[in-house]
Structure 1
Amino acid sequence: MELTEIKIGLTNRVTEMVTEQNTAVTMGSGNLPVYATPAMTCLMEKAAAEALEPLLPEGWTTVGISLNVAHKAPTPTGMEVRAEAEVVAVEGRKVTFTVRAFDGREEIGSGTHERFAVLREKFTAKAEAKRC
């Protein structure tokens, strides 16, 4: 399967508010009441995944296969965070993104993310087979 609809330069943005639920202390990734690195990386992945979803054939989805990011600045509760994902390479079923996150003042994180297109049903069956 070729991802012919997905082109270099495709972008997507998503946002969320920093709340008590996505702070480092609540998520267990630290002990400060600031935006958690796992929350930032999740928002980056969401931006990438949502960019691809409408362009995939019926029955297909993408899964994250790598994420390499730096979380460069803290963000307190009450601020909004925006994550952006841009396609920089398409190789067969693998799509590579640059990802960046911003709060209202500055860039707070950046890096790369790779996703791989899979048949939803086949992938789910493979995961479920581990239960046996």
Structure 2
Amino acid sequence: MELTEITEGLKNSVAEMVTEENTAVTMGSGTLPVYATPAMTCLMEKAAAEALEPLLPEGWTTVGISLNVAHKAPTPIGLKVRAEAEVTAVDGRKVTFAVRAFDEREEIGSGTHERFAVQRDKFTAKADSKR
């Protein structure tokens, strides 16, 4: 299966507010009430996944296979965070993204993310076979 509709330069962004629920102390990734690294990476993956979903054939989706990011600056509760994902390469069913995150003041994170296109039913069956 070729991902012919997905090309370099495809972009998407998503945003969320920093709340008590997505702080490091609540998520267990630290002890401070600031935006958690796991929340930032999840938002980056969401931006990438949502960019691809409408362009995939019926019955297909993508799964994250790698994520390499730096969380560069803290964001307090009450600010908005936006994550951007831009396709930088397509190799068969693997799609590579440049990902960046910003709060209302500055860039807070950046890196790369890879996703792989899979058939939903086949992938789910493989996962279920582990039970």
Shift of 1:129: 0.2
Query: For structure 2, which runs of at least 5 residues remain unmatched after alignment?
Result: none
Q: Which residue of 2 aligns with 1:124?
A: 124
Deviation at 1:26, TM superposition (A): 0.1
Which residue pairs with 2:3 in the alignment?
3
| Residue-by-residue CA offset, 1:101-120 (whole Å, 9 max, x unaligned) | 00000000000000000000
Q: How many angstroms apart in 2 are the aligned matches of 1:128 and 1:18?
A: 34
Count matched residues: 131
Q: Which residue number corresponds to residue 34 of structure 1?
A: 34
- Quote the sequence identity (%): 86
C-alpha RMSD of matched pairs (Å)? 0.1
For 1:77, the equivalent position in structure 2 comes to 77
SS at 2:108's partner residue?
A: strand
* In 2, Cα distance between equivalents of 1:88 and 1:56: 17
What's the offset of the Cα at 1:20? 0.1
Paired residue type of 2:20? E
Distance in 1 separating the partners of 2:126 and 2:16: 32
- Residue 109 of structure 1 corresponds to 109
Offset at residue 49 of structure 1 (A): 0.1
Q: Could you tell me how far apart the structure 2 residues matched to 1:54 and 1:72 are?
A: 31
State the shift of 1:47 in Å. 0.1
Q: Once superposed, which parts of structure 1, at least 4 consecutive aligned residues long, lie more than 6 Å away?
A: none
Give the secondary-structure state (helix, strand or coil) at the position aligned to 1:76.
coil
How far residue 70 of structure 1 moved from its aligned partner, in angstroms, is: 0.0
Task: Please list every run of 5 or more consecutive structure 1 residues that lacks an aligned counterpart in the other structure.
Answer: none
What is the distance in 2 between the residues matched to 1:48 and 1:41? 11
Aligned-partner Cα distance in 2 for 1:106–1:78: 15
